[in-house]
Chain A
Amino acid sequence: MSSFDRDDLGADLSAYIDGELPAARMREVERLLEQSPSDRQTVRKLRDIAQRLGALPRQNAPLDVAESVLAALRAGGSRDGATLQRARTTDRARRLIWLARATAAAAVFVGGVFVGARLAPVFERETTTGLGRVGGAPLNAPEGRFAGGARDADREKSAPPADALHALGYVAEPATESTELRLGMPVSSTSAGGGAAIAGGEMPEIVVNVSPRTLDEFHGAVRFVNDVADAVREPDTSGKDAGVSKLSYEPAGMTQSLVLTVDAGQVFNVIDALDKTVQQNTNVAMNFAGSQARQIYQAAEAGAADESKLADELRAPSMEQGLAAGETTAGDRGIVAARRGVVAREAAADKKEAEPLSVARRLQAPTTLEERSGLDRPSPASAETARPAYSDVRMRDGDGQTDLAPTSAPRRSPGVAGRGRVAGRGGDELTRDAAEGVDDRTVANDYGAEPAREASIEEQVLQTLQKARAARNDWGQRGKQLGNQVLFRVQVAPPPRPATAPAPRRPRP
């Protein structure tokens, strides 16, 4: 024990019982203690003192310390001036008010027990729909099931102006402002891998980025992210997958981030899944907002314009003119009616297959087109020869025969037949067709005549259009009103606090 300086031994004995000695020194002390009963006695007494100090009852602060401090800060108080005293006085008054309220609440609760017993089945049903999950214990951040590392800093953009959200009623309480959920890239950029390269070569990603500011909000955010991860990976009740091909969990401090790589054309399915998750989380609220939404809205508006055009086409103004003139022949009517019928039937078929939103349909259109072009399409050459050309269809008007075709005959693009079912498809094809001088009647003409059932079909198409517009407005309206970067905003309210206070920490023996 030559290495021991007896003056330091006492301190080393204290450090020994605290486990604060280096390993080599620890072994030396242990050897010493084996040989020295008096030092063993010293260690025993020091340990006894330490344990008794650790067992002293903890004095917890009154619950309103934070309130008092914040009140003092709000009042610009100094650390030991009259402000704190005023804050404490206010707190005492607040405690009295709280006591009165608690008494009243207790009285209400006594009454509520009776009512609650009668309503118990109702609450049970609510619990099964997801409301019951909210009261659970706080959760840790989800662990490494998710691939991926840190993301670009540009995704960590700031939240939208709070006043803008308040103006829309999105944030009820300024104190609980918290989180956001945004698309990581424009919806118009979709996947080449999905066979649908519309504007980019990258899979669309939805970034769920929840940035809580408090510990309670953090727990709520983690719970929400867990639920989102569950929701987007699970098939819905119809067995349809949400379309997420990759899910990365990327927390950064308190910020909880999920990056959802989405199959082309499935963006809205995923958003629907997120929306349902929010609906089932009473501690979060999600609202649609921002420039991304505005983009969608604008695209939908364009689609609506195209759909209106389609509807106009279905109404066949030229035929109406002919009918008004009263000089159409049965054959003419049949041809035109058949034309309308084909267009309407195809439109209805397309709408039935497509997403309810025209934007979603746009995302799917190229793939669908590719599939369709390989099906029952006649070749452009056969379409040219097997079916009557549009310019051959004539109607009588007051002056005699009038060509229904535009004054400049449509240019017959080789792609006309391949795009035969353009009616009901999104705006891109219509726009392209318009640029190529092809109209729907030309296309319908290519597909020949069928018996007329146009009236009822046209009505169905119009109803579908109305539904699509209503759905589109629901998506786009809020985005139209806000001009910021945030697509969604998620508000996380604190989950219920644990009923029992945490056990006081004890020092190591």
Chain B
Amino acid sequence: MRPIVRRTETTEPNERDVGGVDAYLVRCAQRGDTSAFGQLVTKYQDRVFNTCYRMCHDHAEALDLAQSAFVKAYESLARFEGKSSFYTWMFRIAVNVVISSRRRRRTAMSLDQPGRGESGRREVAAAEEDVDANSVRDELRERLEAALERLPDEFRVVVVLKDVEGLDYAEIAEVIGAPIGTVKSRLHRGRSMLREWLTDSGESA
């Protein structure tokens, strides 16, 4: 049997838009094919959810935010012109949804609860007190997560998109709608704050 076509493994579904698949699905969805949009949701739900989770550190809230982001993306799909890739556009919506939600929550909390930053510091302290219940590794991870949550949103989103989701600077700039120089400086400041807080909390980094 003569080999006509070399068969190779395809990319994983969660990889970025290989062969224009996303663009094709977007066009289908723009024509009203909800199943095509469902494919896009399936493809990016984990990354969007993980980003939301790293931004709010709460599973239920992250699920709400991710779903809201996808619904909002569908509602805005007619305005998506394909100038950027779908996934950066999707991340931009998700980040905006998360930041808007947290802003609303902060406003509500400021009326009847202590400030968020204080809460964040309490969680760092709580993590420090929980050493006995966790392995050293878990403890370090919890400290990092608590410190991450303490970061101001504008720094946290950059840190999450870069170090957690692996976007490059240009993609992050597209997501947050800021120049690359801003991304670079915010990322450095975010990492520096994390390093400083972790050092203060007893790590010898």
Q: Are A66 and B184 in contact (CB under 8 A)?
A: no
Q: What is the distance, in angstroms, from A360's C-beta to the closest C-beta of chain B?
A: 25
- Annotate A492-509 by CB proximity to B: 1 below 8 A, 0 otherwise: 000000000011111110
Q: Are B34 and A229 in contact (CB under 8 A)?
A: no
Most chain A CB atoms below 10 A, which of B9, B11, B41, B67: B67
Q: In the complex, A11→B35 CA distance in Å?
A: 43
Q: In the complex, A54→B1 CA distance in Å?
A: 47
Cβ of A138 under 8 Å from chain B: yes
Cβ of B148 under 8 Å from chain A: yes
Q: Are A69 and B49 in contact (CB under 8 A)?
A: no
Q: Are A70 and B4 in contact (CB under 8 A)?
A: no
Nearest chain A residue, comparing its CB with the CB of B42: A66
In A416-474, the 8 Å CB interface with B consists of none
Selected from B5, B24, B101, B195, the residue in CB contact (under 8 A) with A230 is B5
Q: Are A54 and B163 in contact (CB under 8 A)?
A: yes
Cβ of A314 under 8 Å from chain B: no
Q: A140-B8, A145-B4, A215-B13 are in contact. Are A253 and B20 (CB under 8 A)?
A: yes
Q: Total number of A-B contacts with CB less than 8 angstroms?
A: 216
Could you say which residues of chain B place their CB within 8 Å of the CB of A145? 4-6
Could you say which residues of chain A place their CB within 8 Å of the CB of B45? 61, 65-66
Contact residues on B (Cβ < 8 Å of other chain), bracket? 35 or more
Q: What is the distance, in angstroms, from B97's C-beta to the closest C-beta of chain A?
A: 7
Q: Are B72 and A79 in contact (CB under 8 A)?
A: yes
In B117-134, the 8 Å CB interface with A consists of none
Cβ of A377 under 8 Å from chain B: no
In B167-199, the 8 Å CB interface with A consists of 168-169, 181, 184-185, 187-188, 191-192, 194-195, 198
Could you say which residues of chain A place their CB within 8 Å of the CB of B160? 53
Could you say which residues of chain B place their CB within 8 Å of the CB of A219? 10
Q: Are A84 and B159 in contact (CB under 8 A)?
A: no
Q: Are A230 and B46 in contact (CB under 8 A)?
A: no
Q: Are A80 and B64 in contact (CB under 8 A)?
A: yes
Cβ of B99 under 8 Å from chain A: no
Selected from B63, B75, B181, B198, the residue in CB contact (under 8 A) with A61 is B63
Stretch at the interface among A13-21, A29-37, A186-194: A13-21
Cβ of B68 under 8 Å from chain A: yes
Q: Are B184 and A20 in contact (CB under 8 A)?
A: yes
Q: What is the distance, in angstroms, from A30's C-beta to the closest C-beta of chain B?
A: 18
Selected from B11, B23, B166, the residue in CB contact (under 8 A) with A508 is B166
Could you say which residues of chain B place their CB within 8 Å of the CB of A56? 54, 141, 144-145, 164
Q: Are B9 and A138 in contact (CB under 8 A)?
A: yes
- Annotate A204-235 by CB proximity to B: 1 below 8 A, 0 otherwise: 00000000011110110010011001100110
Q: Are B35 and A213 in contact (CB under 8 A)?
A: yes
Q: Are A214 and B36 in contact (CB under 8 A)?
A: yes
Most chain B CB atoms below 10 A, which of A10, A61, A79, A507: A61
Q: In the complex, A225→B184 CA distance in Å?
A: 46
Q: Are B41 and A69 in contact (CB under 8 A)?
A: yes
Q: In the complex, A66→B63 CA distance in Å?
A: 11
Cβ of B202 under 8 Å from chain A: no
Q: Are B191 and A49 in contact (CB under 8 A)?
A: yes
Q: Are B14 and A213 in contact (CB under 8 A)?
A: no
Could you say which residues of chain B place their CB within 8 Å of the CB of A13? 188
Cβ of A46 under 8 Å from chain B: yes
Could you say which residues of chain B place their CB within 8 Å of the CB of A57? 141
Cβ of A137 under 8 Å from chain B: yes
Q: What is the distance, in angstroms, from A270's C-beta to the closest C-beta of chain B?
A: 15
Could you say which residues of chain B place their CB within 8 Å of the CB of A153? none
Nearest chain B residue, comparing its CB with the CB of A233: B4
Beyond A213-B24, A215-B25, A247-B4, 16 additional contacts (C-beta under 8 Å) are: A20-B168, A48-B195, A52-B141, A52-B144, A53-B144, A53-B159, A56-B145, A56-B164, A60-B46, A66-B41, A138-B10, A143-B8, A175-B35, A214-B25, A254-B19, A502-B14
- 14 residue pairs from A and B, CB less than 8 Å apart: A11-B184, A18-B168, A56-B164, A59-B54, A65-B66, A73-B71, A73-B74, A140-B8, A214-B25, A215-B43, A253-B21, A503-B12, A506-B166, A507-B165
Q: Which residues of A contact B (CB under 8 A)?
A: 10-15, 18, 20, 45-46, 48-50, 52-54, 56-62, 65-70, 72-74, 77-80, 84, 87-88, 137-143, 145, 175, 213-216, 218-219, 222, 225-226, 229-230, 233-234, 247, 249, 251, 253-254, 502-508
